[in-house]
Amino acid sequence: MTTTDEFRRVRLMRRRGNQTILIPPAFELQGSEAVLRREKNRLIIEPVVATPLRSLLAQWEPIDVDWPDIEDLPAEGESAGRVAVRWRI
């Protein structure tokens, strides 16, 4: 059995060639993006949930790479131990 909180009748409208609905406040989604998909005669709208970087990195397997050593050279126009600074006003 469903309650009135679980479903709401809405009106289908046309705007600039697209079919639209107004989502009642009780059904608002978090965020600014959603995924719309069709299952037979149903449309399903789901919020796009951002994956935190820490969670994403935890899912990845560590890479086993023997990175070469990189010589720390001074930047172009610099001499070792001294940095040239030019001011323009």
Question: 36-55: per-residue pLDDT in tens?
Answer: 999 999 999 999 988 889 88
- Is residue 35 one of the residues assigned to a domain? yes
* Secondary structure (3-state) at 61: coil
At 84, the pLDDT band (50, 70, 90 cuts) reads: low
pLDDT score for 43: 93
Q: Does residue 44 lie within any of the structural domains?
A: yes
- Whether 40 maps to a domain, the answer reads yes
H or E element in which residue 35 lies: strand 34-39
With beta carbons less than 8 A apart as the criterion, state whether 48 and 38 touch: no
Count structural domains, the chain. Answer: 1
Range of the domain at 43: 13-59
CA dist., res. 33 & res. 3, Å (int): 27
Is 31 domain-assigned? yes
pTM value?
0.49
29 belongs to a structural domain: yes
47 domain-assigned: yes
Q: Is residue 6 part of a domain?
A: no
Using CA atoms, how far residue 40 sits from 21, 22, 43, 68, 74, in Å, is 19, 22, 8, 55, 63
Per-residue pLDDT tens digits for 65-83: 998 888 887 777 766 666 6
